[in-house]
Amino acid sequence: MPAYKMGRMDNTAYPRPQLVREQWQSLNGPWKFTFNDCRNFIHPTEPIPWQHQILVPFPPESQASGLGNTGFHPVCWYEREFDLAPGDARVLLHFGAVDYSARSEQELDTLSCA
């Protein structure tokens, strides 16, 4: 289990040691973040004004996330870029603690998938 100390994380510990994969990458850490209370953003390719930075895996309600916002927000957007190791043929993204639904938009070179 990762160790959390004053808003910083040790990403060296695999989250489920009984299911270790040879190659894995934790995406915990700082992400771009914004609330979308008016639901005016529909697709991740739209220009979204990133108003906050959040520390994942903490929820926006938690002080550990850097936000500590306990208000009701029907939609939240997150964004993070990361590199894949050369030769990765298959990528599995696991979104934990998603309340209702999650979508991802991946752009690999000129290929775009939704």
Q: How many independent structural domains does the chain possess?
A: 1
Average pLDDT over residues 13-24: 66
Q: Name the residue with higher pLDDT: 56 or 14.
A: 56
pTM: 0.70
Residue 33 CA to residue 20 CA, distance in Å, equals 29
Q: Which residues contact 90 (CB under 8 A, 6 or more apart)?
A: none
Domain that holds residue 75: 1-114
Residue 105 CA to residue 114 CA, distance in Å, equals 5
Residue 19 CA to residue 94 CA, distance in Å, equals 13
Supply the pLDDT for residue 6.
Answer: 41
Average pLDDT over residues 88-101: 72
pLDDT tens-digit series, residues 44-78: 778 889 999 999 989 999 999 999 999 999 888 88
